[in-house]
């Protein structure tokens, strides 16, 4: 079983960081993963049917570029892009809200287009470029949209914020931020339970009117 816990995670320099809370969460997630090992695999293990175990955990190669880094991973076909980003790559900025494509918290860019990563099978992103909220800033310099969200208080609890920002950047790039009405329509796939919508719209309008290439 030990092998199954090894998430074939590429080690980056940024991984060497001290964040005990995050590490604790990470570990909890791993323990949960073991606890929900599919019943057939547990049964098969009991019966020493190694082949069945292999089948239950069958993984496939996935090559994708995430925030500018080319990664070679092994993933289960049923793993969503969201789960791969969060559990395998520790990119926990992308949030899991409804996990059903209804809230937009999981919004990322695939080849420049915003999508719901919770409804995207990771294996189907093979060969593509993924950008998450972690990929927007340039070093210590926040992306203009991140700055604008801070300035305009475009959040309260902050859970929907990464998805809102990824969607907001796409909204401007697509050319759908030309009026308050249009922004509201094209941001409708991102739900904010705290109701920070007016401030989110202000943030987007400011970035749009700033005319910066984003």
- Kindly state the smallest distance separating residue 148's Cβ from other proteins, in Å: 19
Q: What angle do CA 207, 213, 214 make, to 5 degrees?
A: 65
> How far apart are the C-alpha atoms of 54 and 34, rounded to whole Å?
15
Binding site for other proteins (CB under 8 A): 38, 55-56, 58, 60, 76-78, 80, 99-101, 104, 107, 113-116, 119-121, 123-124, 167, 170-171, 174, 176, 184-186, 188-190
CB nearer other proteins, residue 115 or residue 196: 115
Q: Which is nearer to other proteins, 26 or 59 (CB)?
A: 59
Task: Tell me the H-state helices in the chain.
Answer: 2-5, 20-35, 39-46, 50-56, 81-83, 144-152, 161-173, 180-186, 197-210
**Measured from the CB of residue 57, what is the shortest distance to other proteins in angstroms?**
8
For 80, other C-beta atoms within 10 Å of its C-beta total 23
Query: Which alpha helices (DSSP H) does 16-133 contain, by range?
Result: 20-35, 39-46, 50-56, 81-83
Between 150 and 194, CB nearer to other proteins: 194
What is the smallest separation between the CB atom of 13 and other proteins, expressed in angstroms?
A: 32
Nearer to other proteins, 175 or 210 (CB): 175
Q: Write down the least CB distance from residue 80 to other proteins, Å.
A: 7
């Amino acid at each position: 079983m030990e092998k199954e816990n090894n998430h074939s995670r590429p080690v980056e320099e940024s991984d060497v960081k001290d964040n005990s809370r995050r590490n604790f969460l990470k570990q909890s997630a791993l323990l949960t993963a073991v606890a929900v090992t599919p019943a057939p695999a547990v049964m098969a293990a009991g019966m020493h049917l190694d082949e069945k175990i292999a089948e239950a955990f069958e993984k496939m190669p996935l090559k994708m570029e995430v925030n500018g880094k080319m990664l070679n991973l092994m993933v289960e076909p049923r793993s969503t892009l969201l789960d791969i980003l969060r559990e395998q790559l520790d990119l926990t900025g992308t949030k899991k809200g409804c996990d059903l494509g209804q809230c937009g918290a999981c919004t990322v860019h695939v080849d420049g287009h915003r999508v719901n990563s919770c409804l995207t099978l990771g294996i189907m992103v093979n060969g593509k470029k993924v950008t998450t909220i972690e990929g927007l800033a340039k070093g210590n310099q926040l992306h203009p949209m991140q700055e604008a969200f801070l300035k305009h208080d475009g959040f309260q609890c902050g859970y929907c914020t990464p998805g809102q920002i990824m969607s907001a950047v796409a909204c401007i790039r697509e050319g759908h931020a030309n009026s308050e009405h249009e922004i509201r329509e094209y941001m409708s796939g991102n739900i904010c339970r705290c109701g920070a919508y007016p401030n989110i719209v202000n943030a987007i309008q400011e970035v749009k009117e700033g005319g910066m290439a984003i």
